[in-house]
Chain A
């Protein structure tokens, strides 16, 4: 099946610094990737939709200036948490949409997630 990787798997940073998380589709091209945030014992919340070659679309309530998304190629999207604060500590998960042929349904494949801890 299609594989999506994330790097790093864990990161600890100081408050006020910026952290970049990478999401890669390893064996397929993804014109669309998604970024989710998961709090402990809670569900995944969609943060934004990342489209290759265009600006990301953010969900309501998500600060686009804090969570910068760049989808520079068909296999890579990055999420940068700028000026991180302890409340940004969370589990960030990306997914990539696999669009083979003319299928009307494009399954998402998920990365393993990145645990961000801001001290």
Chain B
């Protein structure tokens, strides 16, 4: 079955430390891949997306993600987290152009930032 998996439900990281959030997908072909962040009281915000081309994608707020076809992964990274990065992060996919707009989300990873 097609799915998006975020193995880590909850991650705690110290401010200034690096962060990596994992995302794996299970689809027949390479889907279109996204990372969103959800903060309380705010709508989901797109951090970055991958459609094709360079497998290392730069996003907003200092985030980047790397697409690895061999591992069916699209992990999100940030070299040095800030307290404001505490939020829920969702990996999402669109299976293909026929499903445009039908985002399928992973379960999310809650990031807690400690002083």
Residues of chain A having any CB pair with chain B under 8 Å: 4, 9, 32, 34, 41-46, 49, 93, 95, 97, 104-113
Contacts and interface: CB of A to CB of B under 8 A. Distances in A.
Contacts, number: 49
B102 A46 contact: yes
A46 B90 CA distance: 14
- Among A32, A93, A111, A112, residue most surrounded by chain B Cβ atoms (within 10 Å): A112
Contacts of A95: 43-44
27 contacts: A4-B43, A32-B101, A34-B101, A34-B102, A41-B9, A41-B108, A43-B90, A43-B105, A44-B105, A46-B102, A46-B103, A49-B101, A49-B102, A93-B43, A93-B44, A95-B43, A95-B44, A105-B32, A105-B100, A106-B101, A107-B46, A109-B43, A110-B36, A110-B45, A111-B43, A112-B42, A113-B43
Nearest to B92: A44
A106 B108 contact: no
A108 B49 CA distance: 12
A41 B97 CA distance: 29
B113 to A, nearest CB: 19
B38 to A, nearest CB: 8
A42 B101 contact: no
A105 B108 contact: no
Nearest to B110: A41
